[in-house]
Structure 1
Amino acid sequence: MTEPNPVVPAVVPPPPPPPLPPPPPPPVLVNSTSRSAPGSGRLRSVFWERIPQERVKGRRSVWTKSDEYLIDFTSLDELFGQQQGNKGKESRVKSLHGQEKHTNTLRKNTLDKISILEGNRKLKVGIFLHHFKSTLGEIINDIREGRGQNYGSEKLNELFKLLPDPDEVFVFVL
């Protein structure tokens, strides 16, 4: 009698290794023909396509009028810049044809605003006031004169919740 051969169980191979990660994205190249000011800060990305000059030249459009439209690159840097730069009184302006001019005007909207409310309360008050079609002055006059029919009890209760407590009023008065 011969002994039967023992059955060797099949060995399961290990799973394949995970795939390689994707390659990194290509570096962003700065277009050497761009009209950005030398030394200006890094700007936010704006996705747009440049129109070739051949499509614009010789045709009547906003872009071909002479010096009528000026681009204030300083204000563009302020609006779209990622880092806060030096704010000077002199503003550099370029026309669409590349002629640079300087002006000594201050931007009206660059005044610093002082807030007496903390961030969360300021947000809640702002959202609450946007529910009304009236101006802020009209709302204040209605409250002072006791005219609540335009607002309803729910809105007045919400307003009551937003009122400052006595300690906060004391701080505002000082």
Structure 2
Amino acid sequence: MIKTVPILVFSAGLLLISCESQVVKDENSQFYSVSLGSELILHREITVPPDQTSVYLQYGKIAASGHVDFYKPHCKFELYKISTKARVVKPDTFVVIKIVDQREDVSVGMPTYASLGFSYGDGPLHLTYSTAMYLESAVQPDVFRIDCKRWDDPVIGEYLSISEMREALGDYFTLKLADS
């Protein structure tokens, strides 16, 4: 009986330690998330072209969709409605009211008939790892969301870290975390 008491105490300690959660606060980690109530502060105007609802940001610059390297961190800034006229989004502070992390199959425009790539079974070669932050502004209600993402491997791919999001946004936006 005396020998089993230390074993029971040790086992109970292991069980308690295994229930403890570690809060990740490293902005370089994919596991540190943007929290509700965070703010996305736009410092300069962004023009959304006619017949479009969005612009891409990559490496701190506005990029045409045909010039985005989808394998690298990029963000898509979106409006609710399409218009035949160009629209200007003015500097403002947008509050993050909803966050959705998701993985989606990559859809390519042209069919691939032969490929040197390898997939896992009959699954996709790439997935889009995205963090969509739904935004709210009392001044500019047409602003919808910003979706920061990249294409990556289906098995070992990663969501963007906050540092990578900031790199994509450059000096257009400041991401101010609610819990910092």
Please state which band the TM-score falls in when normalised by the shorter chain. Answer: under 0.3
Higher relative contact order (CA 8 A, sep 6+): 2
Q: Counting helix residues as a fraction of each chain, which structure ranks higher?
A: 1
Normalising by the residue count of structure 1, what TM-score does the alignment of the two structures yield?
0.18
Q: Counting strand residues as a fraction of each chain, which structure ranks higher?
A: 2
Normalising by the residue count of structure 2, what TM-score does the alignment of the two structures yield?
0.18
